[in-house]
Amino acid sequence: MSRTIGYVVGLLMILLGLIWIAQGSGYFPYPASSFMINQSIWVLWGSIMVVAGLAVTIIISRLRRKG
């Protein structure tokens, strides 16, 4: 059960990070009133979130192999 939650959290972090990257770079201008559109700092934060999400999923998968 906790592994499933870990995978879901990791995948949601990756998805959220990709949305932040897309909004920060201007490729996903939705909603139109978003403060994140064309703001390069959100590309950085999105990248950090994607890396963190990947780390969570990798750690969960390694724990799964051991246990």
**For the segment 14-64, what is each residue's pLDDT rounded down to a tens digit?**
999 999 999 999 888 888 888 889 899 999 999 999 999 999 999 998 886
Q: Which domain holds residue 24?
A: 2-66
- Phi (first) and psi of residue 58, to 5 degrees: -65, -45
At residue 9, the pLDDT reads 95
Is residue 11 within 8 Å of residue 57, measured between CB atoms?
yes
What pLDDT band is residue 66 in, cutting at 50, 70 and 90? low
| pTM listed for this prediction | 0.86
Structural domains in the chain (count): 1
